[in-house]
Chains A and B, each alone.
Chain A
Amino acid sequence: MTPLLAVQGVTKRYGRHVGCLDVSFDLWPGEVMGIVGESGSGKSTLLACMAGHIAPDAGRVVFDTRAEGPVDTVQMSEPARRMLARTDWAFVHQNPRDGLRTGVSAGGNVGERLMAVGARHYGDIRAAATDWLGRVEIDAGRIDDRPVTFSGGMQQRLQIARNLVTGPRLVFMDEPTGGLDVSVQARLLDLLRGLVRRMGLSAVIVTHDLAVARLLADRLMVMKDGRVVEAGLTDQVLDDPQHGYTQLLVASVLQV
C-alpha cells in the first residue's frame, strides 16, 4: 500500500523565524491526522505548505494522484496544483468567509466547485447542491439565500458542503470548529465524523483543542516552535504523553 500523502522534511522560515522545521510523516488512506500545538507552534504554516498555499523552503509533499501515482506537489506546475486543489483535495478554513463566496447563494457556492471541474447541466448541479445541503443539515429552502444570512455554524457546514461536493480524497482543515459555540461544535464534529467514515476520506486537521483531536483524529502530531515533538496514536499521545511539552498540554486542560 502507498501512503496517500507523504510529507518529507518540510521546512518554512519567515526570515530568521522558523515556521516549521523538517516535518515528515505519512498519511494512509482513510486516516485522520490531527496536528495540535499552541498558537505560533507552526501547525497552520505546515498545513498551508501541505495544501500548496505557501511554498516550503525545503522538503517534499508527495500525493498519490489517481492518474500518475505519487507526485511531489511542491514541484508541480501551478495549474496542475490548482486542479488538484479543486478535485482530490479540499480545504476547510477556520473562518467560513475565507472559504465561501459571500456574494453568491448557498446553492451557488456548492455548485461553483462542481462547475470548476466541468459540470455544466444546471439541473444536475442544482440537484447535487440540494443533496449536499441536506447532508450538512441545511434546510433545502435556504438554497437561494446568501451565506451572510446564515449563522456561523451553518456557514461552516456550507463551507464543508462546498468542499466535499467534488468527492475529494484528502481534506485539510484549519481549526474547523474554531469560532463556534460548544453546542454547535458538537454537531459539526458529529457531521465531520460521519462524512469521513462514509466517504472514506483522509484528513489532516489542525486544532488547538485536544478534545476535538481526540474525537476526530486517529493519529496525532504535537508541534512546538515549528518542530514535531511527539507523534503517535491519538489516545496514546493524550493518555500516556512522552514529551514534557505534551505532558504540560494534557495536564493544562480544564476538566468539566
Chain B
Amino acid sequence: MKGYRKVIEIAGLAKTFTLHNQGGAVIEVMRDAALRVEPGECVGLTGASGAGKSTLMRMVWGNYLAAAGSIIVAGVDVAQAAPREVIALRRGQMSYVSQFLRVLPRVPTLDVVAEPLLLQGLDEAAAHDRARALLARLNIPQALWSLSPTTFSGGEQQRVNIARGFIRAVPVLLLDEPTASLDAANREVVLTLIAEAKARGAAILGIFHDEGARARVCDRLVDVTAFAPHAA
C-alpha cells in the first residue's frame, strides 16, 4: 500500500441512475470526471446544489457504483474492486464524515466514536482513551459520553460524526460539509483537526459550503459542474 504519490486518482468517471420503477428512465448525472488528491493536500469540490459533489464523494467511498472510469484510492480501484477489498480499504485506509450520523440506538457515544479503532483490532481501553480525548476536544460534555447520540442536537451529532471520522490516522479522508451546523468555537476545532490531518500527510477530499472554511483548508478547488453530461 506504500509509495502511491497520488492517494486519490479519478479518471473518466461516469455516473448514471436507472429508475426501473419509473419507466426505466436513465438519468446521466456525471461524465468524464477526473481529479487527483496528493498526500497532505485538501481538494474542495464546488458547484451548485445537485451538481454532483456528494455523488462523486459517495463513488469514492464505494456506496455509489460508477458507470465507467476508475477511482484509485491507496492503490485500489474502488470502481472495480470486490466488496471485501472495499471493506478492507474502509477499515484501514479511508474515513468518511457524512452529513448523517447513522448509529444503533442505545449504544453510548464513547463506543460509537471508538468503533472504527475497535474494528481495526485496537484494545478497548486504548480506543476509549482516544475517543475521550477527541470528544473533549470537540466540546461534547462528558455527561453525554455514556448516552446514545440519537437524542443529541444536530451540532452535537455532527461533532460525534467528526470524532468518529478523525479517530484513526488514515491516509484518505472524505468530508461532506464537516462544519455545516457548528458554532464558531467548534468550527475552529474542526478546521484545526483538518489542518493536523493534512500535516501528517492525509489526502482530503471535501465539500465545504462555508467559504471561509474552504479558503482556510483547501489547497485546490474542483468545480464538478465541468463533469455535467451536457457540458461535455
Contacts and interface: CB of A to CB of B under 8 A. Distances in A.
A117 to B, nearest CB: 28
Given A186-B105, A215-B104, A236 B21 contact: no
Contacts of A240: 17, 58, 63-65
A247 B19 contact: yes
A237 to B, nearest CB: 9
A243 B20 contact: yes
B83 A233 contact: yes
B20 A247 contact: yes
A186 B104 CA distance: 6
B64 A193 contact: no
Contact of B84 (A28, A189, A236): A28
A79 interface: no
Nearest to B19: A247
A89 B63 CA distance: 31
Contacts of A189: 104
A99 to B, nearest CB: 23
A248 interface: yes
Given A28-B84, A219-B83, A244-B21, A236 B62 contact: yes
A187 interface: yes
Given A28-B84, A31-B84, A233 B62 contact: yes
Nearest to A235: B63
Contacts of B17: 240
A239 B58 contact: yes
A144 B167 CA distance: 43
Interface string B75-90: 0000000011011000
A201 to B, nearest CB: 13
Interface in A211-246: 214-215, 218-219, 232-233, 235-236, 239-240, 242-244
Given A218-B87, A242-B18, A244-B20, A233 B104 contact: no
